[in-house]
Amino acid sequence: MSVFLEALRLVLEPEVLLTVLGASLLGLTIGAIPGLTAVMGVALLIPITFFMDPVPAIAAIASLAAMAIFAGDIPGALLRIPGTPASAAYVQDSHAMARAGRPERALGLSLVSASIGGVIGVMLLMLAAPLLARFATNFSSVEYFWLALLGLSCAAIISTGAPLKGILSLLFGLWIASIGIDEVAGQPRFTFGVTELMGGISFIPAMIGMFALPELIRNMTLRSAPSEPPRMGPVFDGLFRNIKRRWANVMRGSLTGSMIGALPGAGADIAAWVAYAIAKRRSKTPEKFGKGHDEGIVEAGAANNGALSSAWVPTMVFGIPGDSITAIVIGVLYLKGLEPGPVIFTKTPELVYAIFIAFLLANLILIPLGWLVIRLARNLLRIPPAYYLPVVFACCIVGSFAINNTTFGVIVMLIFGLIGWLFEENGIPVAPAILGIVLGGMLEFNFVTSMLKSDGHLWIFFSRPVAAFLALTVAIVWLWPLVKHIRASR
Amino acid sequence: MGFSNHIIGFAAVLGAAAIVAGTFGFREIPGQQFGSAFFPRITAGALALTGLALIVTSPGGPHVSLPTWVRTVERLRAAAIPIAGLLWVLAAPMFGFLLTTFVMIFALSMIAGGRLLTSLGVAAGVSAVLHVIFSSVLRIPLPFGVIERWVL
């Protein structure tokens, strides 16, 4: 109990509350502007969190992500342009509802279901993470190797349309992770005599480049805001009656999202699509889906934020990111000298609980702040890209510069931005490459350590029950596309 | 700019070969079976296999396809972002953060179709705000130049 009170005290510091408020407003703005995604917002926030204490830094990321994921529904409903990929699953319904003259109903339902989904996801995080952490204290390098491989495999194979291109992206990330001095042998690898590469490719500029630059380049080809958003009525009129009517959908969506989010490598995007598909399958009126029906909006909206919260379970417990945002979080935790994993629960439990509370707070203040941004949405959507795109690019530059105070970070950002753009133009997903960069070091370290322990015998990877189970799970993930292909060809 | 899966696969195989070639100079650690070259070579092997799988499983088609905007004036606006970034890297150490960032935002805004006065206002305001946040609050030594010397 004293740990919980200490965590509460940490979160209720005015500095933390102000940071949460500022990050929330930034997240709502970024999510509401088409083309600016939640991951890009988090990437741009990192250089600032670099200078904060751990609790406000993580609280800022959690708040920004929760707000941006919801706010992505706003341009989706009003302009049929999903603000974030997670909003794409139900954009047809929310836009149809807005075109029928009820945009406030679509957005109100999204808002409340996102908040409930987020709170349920946090509850799962609070319950599951400490239990799993206690279990994970017995893990050795073998289990950590399989966990890292499982996270990377899910990101490359399950979460992408074309598994081969997902694997390609992942392997590119793993190679990038090997650049710099090898910790074990002290051997510089792929540095080409460049001193700045001795410490490896700086993760933050690479990530800012890969996530932000492709969006900026793509958006620069648009001339102005696409169309005039419709007028908005009162958001809360009849809202809670509608939510009560769809309570089963809210709960199912929250639980589906929370469970999918907790899988390493899966994220809010997949959770939203799966929840939408379940809602359609279980509905008594599936023919209404895609034509402005509220079941899909509520269920997938709840799943979005549920997944966002529970993605922190593998992140905090095993140091394996649940999605792209938590991949960034792992980088931040390392920068703050906090190694994610079961030890963090025993070493600094107050910090872990402070992060949970900050997450809960972000999902609760989502309702008033979300209401505010819905009211201002028409004005936000009228800002021409000609003004905000150069500003976002300037933020990318200064953020990349700030990491090492050199223009080398900016060069890294530009190079990775162009690589990210080429990836996206060719249907190669960017997220597996980022996960590869984050987890590459851990994967190599645990693999080599295990091989050294066993004197080069591979049986060590299957010698313990948990390791064997994880190996089987990885095998299933890798065989899944093959099974799907065989079933489809019959 | 889209490339066919054959070209992507071929690039992956070439990349894998380059990675393996890059590992030849890595020294062995006496008494250890797994040196610095071990993991990059595994990565390269997997990369080559993935590239080959892409080549084998993909149907034939055009090797390079360009998006429609590449044939229009929009290509200049798309290229403006990386070019502006490169110019910032070259100019900022000479002219300082404030002037370089102001010119960059203003130029990009005009290229993207912004109005003159609004673009000037946005460029001036945002450069100043970023300077205050990063230089004054976060104490980042941003590139120092003409305006900083005059204002600060």
A93-132: pLDDT as tens digits: 888 888 888 888 889 999 999 999 999 988 888 888 888 8
Residue among A216, A444, A448 minimizing CB distance to B81: A216
Q: For chain B, positions 49-78, list CB contacts with chain A under 8 A.
A: 50-51, 53-54, 57, 67, 69, 74-75, 77-78
**Strand-pair partners of B3:** B64
pLDDT band at B59 (very low <50, low <70, confident <90, very high): confident
pLDDT band at A36 (very low <50, low <70, confident <90, very high): confident
pLDDT, tens digit (0-9, with 9 covering 90-100), for A126-137: 888 888 888 887
Measured in angstroms, the CA of A212 and the nearest CA of chain B are apart by 11
Would you state the torsion angle of the CA atoms of residues A447, A448, A452, A454, taken in this order, to the nearest 10 degrees? 20
Q: Which residue of B has its CA nearest to A446?
A: B39
Q: Which residue of B has its CA nearest to A418?
A: B82
Beta strands B2-3 and B64-65, pairing class: antiparallel
CB atoms under 10 Å from CB of B76, counted, come to 12
Interface A-B: count of C-beta contacts within 8 A: 175
Residues of B in contact with A178 (CB under 8 A): 39-40, 43
Residues of B in contact with A190 (CB under 8 A): 19, 22, 40
Report angle CA A86, A90, A93 to the nearest 5 degrees.
155
Instruction: Given the cut 0.85, state whether the ipTM is greater than it.
Output: yes
Q: Which residue of B has its CA nearest to A420?
A: B1
A385, burial (CB in 10 Å: exposed 0-12, middle 13-18, buried 19+): buried
Least confident range from A28-42, A302-316, A415-429, B6-20: namely A28-42
Residue among A51, A184, A394 minimizing CB distance to B104: A394
Measured in angstroms, the CA of A291 and the nearest CA of chain B are apart by 31
Would you state the torsion angle of the CA atoms of residues A275, A84, A481, A254, taken in this order, to the nearest 10 degrees? -20
Residues of B in contact with A452 (CB under 8 A): 32-34
pLDDT band at A224 (very low <50, low <70, confident <90, very high): low
Claim: this prediction has a pTM higher than 0.90: no
The distance in angstroms from the start CA to the end CA of chain B is 45
pLDDT band at A158 (very low <50, low <70, confident <90, very high): low
Residue among A185, A393, A411 minimizing CB distance to B81: A393
Q: Which residue of A has its CA nearest to B68?
A: A221
- Residue of B50, B64, B70 to mutate when probing chain A, most A C-beta within 10 A: B50
Interatomic CA distance for residues A31 and A401, integer angstroms: 24
Any CB–CB contact under 8 A between B98 and chain A? no
